[in-house]
Chains A and B, each alone.
Chain A
């Protein structure tokens, strides 16, 4: 297991290096560029040429990349000129990452807590009105665009339910320990801050959870249906095991492998969903920074945030792979 983990981590370094080169080349090839972003509409041909030279943008792309890599290895990923002007890209990531993690985890919890039991029940009651309506509901969940749902929640439900829709800006901040508002409130015993943070999370997390919920629901339902048809379930039933034991030991455990894989993949997808959700709610996380970065052509921030999102995605999927062994003893044995 340890060797496997180390091998995967080494692969991660390779992935990040290749990705960073591709990203760097792609960002450099985008129309506009740092010169336009810095000079704006008051630029003159002379000032454009001077700044292009000063920033080294007239040099071959590989030389520019290796210069960037050299700085990055010493921890310097550049300075923002659009998202949070003057702040280092790494500072922006570290400041905003807890917000996105908190939102994603909350959305994932909603998706899992509702998706797995409902998927199981729908499978158990296959063909009933409950199953049919749940399947239709999940189809809507997959089909509805996140940004549309986010706007509906923000503009309609926020007022109707009296829930805040202002991202984190007016949230109560507990004494900072981790940067996760809910967790900090718990750790410091400032329960009003925890409660308030949860209130601020409800609407954006609901919007963000719509697709993962629908996917998890459908995968769980399909996986449970498959397992319910297996011989070992019939054997267990004929042995006279209770329904609870069959459900826990035989059905759910075997159905969980594809579900866990889906959860891993959805965790990655949450990052892209967070771009839209955070933008709509003005939730100051990595997603909003990415959206602003594109809008304002903040290349250092874009580069770092996309690299960090990749690392997170790969790490989450590594954890998912490792969790297989815990769920399925057959994998552990191999």
Chain B
């Protein structure tokens, strides 16, 4: 919505022109002001169509993509990711080193950095943040609140039954912070590049009661810091969240320590319906949106929009749960399922251009990917023969697929299910099909081990093997119920050993060996594909680099 005075001026200007054209023209008039620096014009507003409202603005408590997208424009972590890659690069820390055992990390911090409230960034501020994360209390310790901490660092200061990876942080001097861990992990320090572990202003944290999370019935309420006063060091500052009109506004941080943002403002306009987002883009109401339907890519390109395709940094797999059907505990049966699926055809017919057949549970850009693992080709006869050898002819399996969802790795679950189901039936496997809404029973049933086969996937958080195969098989009570297999525990233990190996070369070899074993000896699920998601932008939007981690920063962006 627009306030009356402004609107009156716009209306006067729009006399004789259609309403839509007037809005588009006024938007252009606003966006094209400013000077051209040669690498993109300075000034203007970039309006991004978001699928949902951010839950809050304190990244530590964030758990969803829409919240992270807004936060990452305002905050920075000690490390970041090189644009367009999952490679770690310096951010608030200019360099770091660890002791040989991987337990003590010394970060050298950038100088001259200030938070949006003017508080200086230094080692003390860094340690305040680490200690804040570690000392969460009460409702804030919930899995629904501090999910990323729990997933990556374990427990808190007062949860001895759930030990933490974090031990301490010491400000050696103003620009040197020493972080001690209780054990080595391959994910450190890249985990500090997650938006969740961005550094906040200690003053603002204190002033706005940042840790005061309260459980309210089936949900949680968050303090003023998370709702109204997010204070980071990033190129944009919090402007406002106009809830009535579903608009979040960020403004340029003119005191930013690095290259200042070119845009005056970034506006996130919340449009839940994808068709409506597309129409808003075409009408010129927004400048871009995320995850356009792959079927629309060509049409959008033909209309002159820039479909920015991200590197495929995800995996879609056919999950196999060995819990309910003993036949699935036989490797030959799982191999038969893999041979029965024509993944090449599926990738060609169901996934966007650039998608690839997955030979392992992680992309080939990650250290630990094993190039010697042979690609398993579609072979219907082999599948039938393996089923026969296993005495599993006429096998009946409960196959789940999700409705009311698209994921970056799974653009059209129904079509993907259809393709896989057709192949399995050709091999003589009978399917008892169940479709359920993603949040309306699908995930719950998958987690409760109800289906035998299910479609799921993963988008990587960082470039470590642990973030992929460690997430899938690093525990025995996982979605594949690997604990029921003789090898489930040893696989989990081997992954833990690889994760805690401080020597990078050794660690890479360990993961590489494990990938081979997973594919040739265990096969707990069937990796299907790596699929590139995209975001769509107007042609005049420059400087946004598609990120495999969906970690796009709008700081370097310009309009025109």
Contacts and interface: CB of A to CB of B under 8 A. Distances in A.
Interface of A: 30-48, 50-51, 54-55, 57, 68, 71, 76-82, 84-88, 95, 159, 162-164, 166, 168-175, 188, 190, 192-193, 196, 199, 279, 282, 284, 292, 295-297, 299-300
- At the interface, is chain B mostly helix, strand, loop or mixed? mixed
Contact of A38 (B219, B247, B273): B219
A87 B227 CA distance: 10
B215 A41 contact: no
B421 interface: no
B222 A175 contact: no
Given A39-B144, A84-B243, A170-B2, A32 B7 contact: no
A36 B443 contact: yes
Contacts of B20: 159, 162, 164
Contact of A169 (B52, B64, B221, B246): B246
B144 A169 contact: no
Nearest to B481: A45
Given A51-B144, A79-B220, A169-B245, 20 more contacts: A31-B437, A33-B444, A41-B456, A47-B150, A76-B216, A76-B217, A81-B219, A84-B53, A85-B54, A162-B20, A168-B245, A169-B247, A169-B271, A172-B2, A196-B11, A292-B272, A295-B272, A296-B52, A300-B217, A300-B218
Nearest to A167: B276
B219 A79 contact: yes
B19 interface: yes
Contacts of B18: 162
Contacts of B2: 170-173
B324 interface: no
Contacts, number: 168
B433 to A, nearest CB: 16
Interface in B10-66: 11, 18-20, 23, 52-56, 63-64
Contacts of B7: 172, 192-193, 196
B447 A45 contact: yes
Contacts of A54: 139, 142, 215
B1 interface: yes
28 contacts: A34-B218, A36-B443, A38-B219, A39-B144, A40-B63, A44-B475, A71-B217, A80-B219, A85-B56, A86-B55, A86-B226, A162-B18, A162-B19, A162-B20, A164-B20, A169-B1, A169-B247, A172-B1, A172-B4, A172-B11, A173-B1, A173-B4, A188-B4, A192-B4, A284-B246, A292-B272, A295-B404, A296-B52
B271 A296 contact: no
Interface string B442-479: 11110100000000100000000000000000010110
Contacts of B246: 169, 284
A99 B441 CA distance: 32
Nearest to A279: B273
Contacts of B53: 84-85
A36 B23 CA distance: 40
A214 B151 CA distance: 57
Contacts of A193: 4, 7
B29 to A, nearest CB: 16
Interface in B398-435: 404
Contacts of A68: 217
A162 to B, nearest CB: 4
B3 A173 contact: yes
Given A166-B285, A282-B276, A45 B477 contact: yes
Given A42-B147, A86-B222, A81 B440 contact: no
B520 interface: no
A42 B444 contact: no
B1 A299 contact: no
A170 B285 contact: yes
Contact of B144 (A38, A173, A300): A38
Contacts of B55: 81, 85-86
A175 B142 contact: no
A42 B152 CA distance: 12
Contacts of B151: 42
Contacts of B442: 32
A173 B242 CA distance: 13
Contacts of A86: 55-56, 221-222, 226-227
B51 to A, nearest CB: 11
B377 interface: no
Contacts of B441: 30-32, 36
A224 B273 CA distance: 44
B530 interface: no
A31 B436 contact: yes
B177 to A, nearest CB: 28
A326 B218 CA distance: 46
Nearest to A79: B219
Nearest to A158: B20
Contacts of B365: none
B217 A79 contact: yes
Contacts of A88: 216
B143 A39 contact: yes
Interface in B133-167: 139, 142-144, 147, 150-151
B18 to A, nearest CB: 4
A41 B443 contact: yes
Contact of A36 (B220, B227, B444): B444
Nearest to A179: B244
A184 to B, nearest CB: 9
B23 A170 contact: yes
Contacts of A71: 217
B171 to A, nearest CB: 32
Contact of B440 (A42, A48, A162, A297): A297
Contacts of A47: 143, 147, 150
Given A79-B221, A86-B56, A172-B1, A95 B142 contact: no
B366 to A, nearest CB: 19
A172 B142 CA distance: 41
B439 A37 contact: yes
B8 A32 contact: no
Contacts of A39: 63, 143-144, 147
Contacts of B280: 166
A267 B475 CA distance: 55
Contacts of A279: 273
A38 B143 CA distance: 9
A190 B6 CA distance: 12
A183 to B, nearest CB: 14
A51 B143 contact: yes
B269 interface: yes
A34 B218 CA distance: 7
Contacts of B285: 166, 170
A163 B404 CA distance: 31
